[in-house]
Amino acid sequence: MRFVVLGAGAIGGAVGGGLFRAGHDVTLIARGAALPVLRSSGLTLQTPDGDEVLRVPTVASADGVRDGDVVILAVKSQHTVAALESLAGRDVTIVCAQNGVANEVEALRRFERVYGVFVWLPARHVDPGVVQVYCAPVNGVLAVGRVPVGEDETARALAAAFTEAGSDGIASADVMRLKRAKLLGNLINGIQVVIGDGEEAEALHERAMAEARACFDAAGLEYEPQLGPLGSRMSTPRPVHGEGHANSSSWQSLERGTGTIETDFLNGEIVLLGRLHGVPTPVNAAVQSLATRMAREHLPPGSLELNAHLRGLAP
């Protein structure tokens, strides 16, 4: 397989770097400040066992993507459509290594061969070209399957490649069932950027998940009830350069002042299902609105005075 990793942030860097280290043909597509750093200095992966620099070929656009390539989407969900449109006209396999459950649908609108990846890989995009990965030697769990359902030869080959890259790669016959379960956990991301951690945030997360389960049930969508056994397949997280993995990818987006956040495809996915199936989702709707405003106004996490509205929804 020839891999093209579209997005060189935390997951794209960790997975793409691992595949390159294992001897696979890998190209990163990067943008912004990361592009010149990756080209001149390489990709720096920092793990509990030490740092390494990988000279992964890096380009600025999808112009060089060829028919037959495996394109791993590792961009945030709000950038998925633009990423897919940049690949128009190519006969490629799309692999969505992203949070949420909407990316695969967008990919299926445009490409025949689409695979979803359940990603449990604690990592952080620190600076341009620098990614911290907090588990070693097994850095995470990557379960991959055909979308909408199915385990086939390509899924098994991808799982094997992910294992070679340092993760526990698993071929899944129903990967979206796993991804919906992860979405339940990711609903806390937006809550944390608005009000931080603590008992209040946990209580709101429980309410947000209850809304989500009601929406899944109304829509007839199944989700894995327990993800714990999968988490036990990777190494225990350890500090990197003296710091542990604490903040979500949504928090990191606000820290970097990107102006966008993934909340529309996390809490917003539940709001969408609620509106389609007549299920009230007040907590998820409030989180979506407040977190999106914070990103748009370039506010740091926890700084929005209107968070009192969200706190009022806590039990």
What DSSP character marks residue 266? T
pLDDT, tens digit, for every residue of 94-111? 999 999 999 999 999 999
Task: Examine the fold and report which residue of 173, 200, 230 is the final residue of a domain before the chain moves on.
Answer: 173
Q: How many domains does the chain have?
A: 2
Task: Examine the fold and report which residue of 150, 173, 196 is the final residue of a domain before the chain moves on.
Answer: 173
Same domain? 208 vs 304: yes
pLDDT given at position 148: 94
Same domain? 148 vs 243: no
pLDDT, tens digit, for every residue of 111-132? 999 999 999 999 999 899 999 9
Same domain? 214 vs 107: no
What percent of the chain has a predicted confidence (pLDDT) above 90?
Answer: 78
What DSSP character marks residue 305? T
Same domain? 161 vs 220: no
| pTM summary value | 0.93
Which residue range forms the structural domain that includes residue 219? 179-311
For residue 150, give Cα distances in angstroms to 47, 84, 103, 113, 175. Answer: 33, 22, 17, 12, 8
pLDDT, tens digit, for every residue of 53-68? 999 999 999 999 999 9
Same domain? 141 vs 113: yes
> Mutual orientation of helices 267-277 and 282-296 as an angle, nearest 10°?
140
Q: Are 270 and 281 in contact (CB under 8 A)?
A: yes
Q: Are 59 and 28 in contact (CB under 8 A)?
A: yes
